[in-house]
Structure 1
Amino acid sequence: MNVSVVRSLVAGALATMTGLASVAAAAEVYPAKPIQLVVPFSAGGDADQSARNLAASAADILGQPMIVVNKAGGNGIIGSQYVKAAKPDGYTLLLARTGPQILLPALQPQTTGYAWNDFTFLGLLDLNPVICAVHPDSPFKNFQDLVAGLQAKPGKLSYSHPGVATVPNLTPQLVLSSLGLPPGAAINVPYKGGGEAVLAVMSREVDFSCGNLSSMMGNLTGGKLRPLITTTPERLNKFPNLPTAREAGFPQLEAMLGWSALYGPPNMSTATVNRWVGALQRVAGDARWIAGTQGFGGIPRVLPPADTEKFVGESFSINQRIVRDANLKLE
């Protein structure tokens, strides 16, 4: 064989091998550029705090910036649909929340644009305790008093919430359902956000509210609200004297927990998912991330993808039943 031909073949083979090696190396390097973390709500709320807390920790672990982008609108649908339609390369992720990820698919499955399991599950991040509270001067000294009031005066007592597709609305509905009372046995009064729902209790516009701890924290510690129960399985460290729902005789309310999770678009690669599994394991042990989560009223609870999917699926089934039984509709 001609020497020049042999040299050409060798050079071509080497070039091909080099190219393949470069492609393989490039495929192994994730992340190689900044990651966009989409929050489907406006800045400053619970979801935004959770996202920014994760971004600060994950950037150090992954070696690339994690840029938080707020895409609010449609009760969280707009940001969620944006991520669902993104390339599954791991560079556009979603800060998933209870409302847009399970409550809206349960309330309006035909128009939400996605199902609860239409995303790639990367991991649960934190739980958001729900506290049922009243004004400090309320005649309801404990949760049993409130229950007795609901039973004695159907349709008279009122509660505040930040929207139909929220845990703070479904929690009182589950209480009513558990008591054998119809959805209208308590007047539900919607507000624009969790903060306004809390202020409604403080100004005595409503009788009670079951909201996220993060929305109530300052007013609870300042004595401007009287907490009755927490929906967490264990008592809260910050409020050791506050009974749990189970202790109050309503274990079913443990299903009423807000949460934050990390999702990606459908069909992300196993390698990229595994990269996040390792990263989130390190996040879970990061003292700064733990302190940040506890600072906004969250409970650190990192789970791997399979356990996250199971957790979310069970949560969806429970809330779907509540929505059906209470005949809830988006207004």
Structure 2
Amino acid sequence: MLQHIEFSRPLRRVLGLTLLLATGMAGAQDPYPNRPITLISPFSAGGDADLAARTYAAAATKALGQSVVVMNKTGASGVIGSAQVVAAKPDGYTLLLARTGSQAIMPAIMPTSTKYKWNDYTFIGMLELNPYGCVVSNNSPYKTFSDLTDAMKKQGKNLNFGTAGVLTTNDMGPRQLFRMLKLTDQIPTQLPYKGTGEAVTSLLAGQTQFSCGSLGTFLAHIKSGSLRALMVTTAERLNELPQVPTARELGFAEMEQVVGWSAVFAPAQLPANVKDRLVAAMTTIAEDPQWRTMTAQTGSLPYIRSPEQTREFVQKQYELYRSLGESLNIIDASN
């Protein structure tokens, strides 16, 4: 028969503290990751963000040894999904596919409605750069970029263009172009969609006359002949589109500052061991030939960088769009 043993109060305290320490040490030693990771893509399926998210997820699953599952959380030009990551538990199981619009443009132009700052995250690393350009349907009467800009001047708001939402690169690139063309209130009409994929669909259907954005989503349609690229903002012509002139060649060198990009962010206050594991995975992904091939197939350029380099890059992008917003007088008036 077991006897009941009565411990003294001081001994009970020591035993309880020992149990807590042992439990804490066991928890601290749990390997990361030990369950699936959710990657929030703040734009709709089929667009540039979604392509980058799924390409990264496939490579990260191999590098981390756990499934990385993409969740499209759309709305408000990427703000809804981005805000969800800001508010998430900083344990490494919720990550963000960061994009130019949601992480640089929105905080720069609409700081009140965005509610998060460009640096309210743990920076894991840059992923890629997305060459930017303007495209039309192959049935369009605009055969050259000059044809399109002439139409902008003559037709003004009667011309429309599709975007992945206001204050995305699909929106800000044309704004920069309209400013350079000295258009005022008679600017083409923007038709915002939930993502670049939907904007491409509207262009193919003839619902919009042109679209400007990262060329990844357009590329397959350009190669098939259903869309025609008129201009790219890269410093040199793209190898895959050698017939398409650069903005600088066409006299619009200032358009070179508009470029798409993807990065991986996590909530702030991420534990150092978790951050180190994710950063190490980025190094592995950078050498993954399948990831590099898949990234190139989407029309993007591999651009993996360290957390420090990523922070510096994003800050410069934020400052660029803050300056552009001020020159266009479109900064949120309440700030």
TMscore range, shorter length: 0.7 to 0.9
Structure 2 unmatched runs, 5+: 1-13
Matches within 5 A, 1:312-323: 312-323=314-325
Q: 1:70 aligns with which of 51, 72, 75?
A: 72
Q: Distance in 1 between matches of 2:315 and 2:182?
A: 26
Task: Choose 76-85 or 43-52, whichever is displaced more.
Answer: 43-52
Is 1:176–1:185's contact at 8 Å kept on the other side of the alignment? no
Supply the distance in 2 between the matched residues of 1:199 and 1:68 (Cα, whole angstroms): 22
Separation in structure 2 between the aligned mates of residue 304 and residue 72 of structure 1, nearest angstrom: 27
The offset of 1:122, in angstroms, is 0.5
Asked if 2 retains the 8 angstrom alpha-carbon contact of 1:164 and 1:329, the reply is: no
Contact 1:130/1:168, CA 8 A, preserved across alignment: no
Deviation at 1:262, TM superposition (A): 0.5
Conserved in 1, the CA contact under 8 Å of 2:127 and 2:263? yes
Describe the superposition over 1:172-229 as per-residue Cα deviations: whole angstroms up to 9, x where unpaired: 11012223333x3421231424344335444555443213323322321122222111
Secondary structure (helix, strand or coil) at the match of 2:107 reads helix
Deviation at 1:151, TM superposition (A): 4.7
Pick closer, same or farther for the CA change 1:90–1:196 going to 2, 3 Å: closer
Change (3 A) 1:264 1:258: same
Q: 2:95 & 2:125 partners in 1: Cα distance? A: 12
The 1-side partners of 2:68 and 2:224 are apart by: 35
1:125-274 matches, within 5 Å, as 125-136=127-138, 138-151=140-153, 157-182=159-184, 184-192=185-193, 193-202=195-204, 204-274=206-276
What aligned pairs does 1:298-309 form with structure 2 within 5 A after superposition?
298-309=300-311
Give SS of 1:282's match: helix
Equivalent-residue separation in structure 2 for 1:91 and 1:138 (angstroms): 46
Residue from 59, 62, 69 that aligns with 1:60: 62
Distance 1:144 1:291, change over 3 A: same
Residues 254 and 27 (structure 1), Cα distance of their counterparts in 2 relative to 1, 3 Å cut: farther
Output the TM-score relative to the length of structure 2.
0.82
Kept in 1: contact 2:46–2:217 (CA 8 A): no
Deviation for aligned residue 1:25: 8.9
1:90 counterpart (86, 89, 92): 92
d(CA) in 1 for partners of 2:52 and 2:203?
A: 26
Comparing 68-77 with 285-294, which one deviates more in the overlay? 68-77
Q: Please give the alpha-carbon distance, in whole angstroms, between the structure 2 residues aligned to 1:191 and 1:27.
A: 47
The letter for the 1-side match of 2:110 is: Q
The answer to whether the Cα contact below 8 Å between 2:158 and 2:189 also exists between their aligned partners in 1 is no
Distance 1:52 1:174 in 2: 30
Q: Which residue of 1 aligns with 2:34?
A: 32
- Over 3 Å counting, the alpha-carbon distance change for 1:208 and 1:79 in structure 2 is closer
Checking the alignment, whether the CA contact within 8 Å between 1:169 and 1:188 is kept in structure 2 is: no
Provide the rounded CA distance (Å) in 1 between the counterparts of 2:243 and 2:72: 37
| Residue 282 of structure 1: aligned partner | 284
C-alpha distance 71-191 of structure 1, shift in aligned 2 (>3 A): closer
**Counterpart position of 2:11:** none
> Contact 1:159–1:186 at 8 Å: present in 2 too?
no
Q: Identify the residue that residue 47 of structure 1 maps to in structure 2.
A: 49
In structure 2, the residue corresponding to 1:111 is in which secondary structure? helix
CA contact (8 A) 2:174 2:212 kept: yes
Task: After TM superposition, give the deviation of residue 90 of structure 1 in Å.
Answer: 1.6
CA–CA distance in structure 1, aligned partners of residues 132 and 74 of structure 2: 23
Residue 127 of structure 1: how far off its partner (Å): 1.9
CA–CA distance in structure 1, aligned partners of residues 58 and 198 of structure 2: 29
Deviations 1:99-130 (A, max 9, x none): 22222223321121201111111011122222
Q: Distance in 1 between matches of 2:236 and 2:28?
A: 46
Change (3 A) 1:110 1:160: same
Matched residue SS, 1:302 = coil
Q: Which residue of 1 aligns with 2:299?
A: 297
Q: Are 1:161 and 1:188, in contact at CA under 8 Å, matched by a contact in 2? A: no
Root-mean-square deviation (Å): 3.2
Give aligned-pair identity as a percent. 41
Q: Is the Cα–Cα contact under 8 Å of residues 156 and 188 in structure 2 kept in the other structure? A: no
Q: Tell me how far apart the structure 2 counterparts of residues 26 and 190 of structure 1 sit (CA, whole Å).
A: 50
Runs of at least 5 residues in structure 1 that lack an aligned partner in the other structure? 1-11
Please state how far the C-alpha of 1:271 moved relative to its aligned partner. Answer: 3.0
TM-score in terms of structure 1 length: 0.83
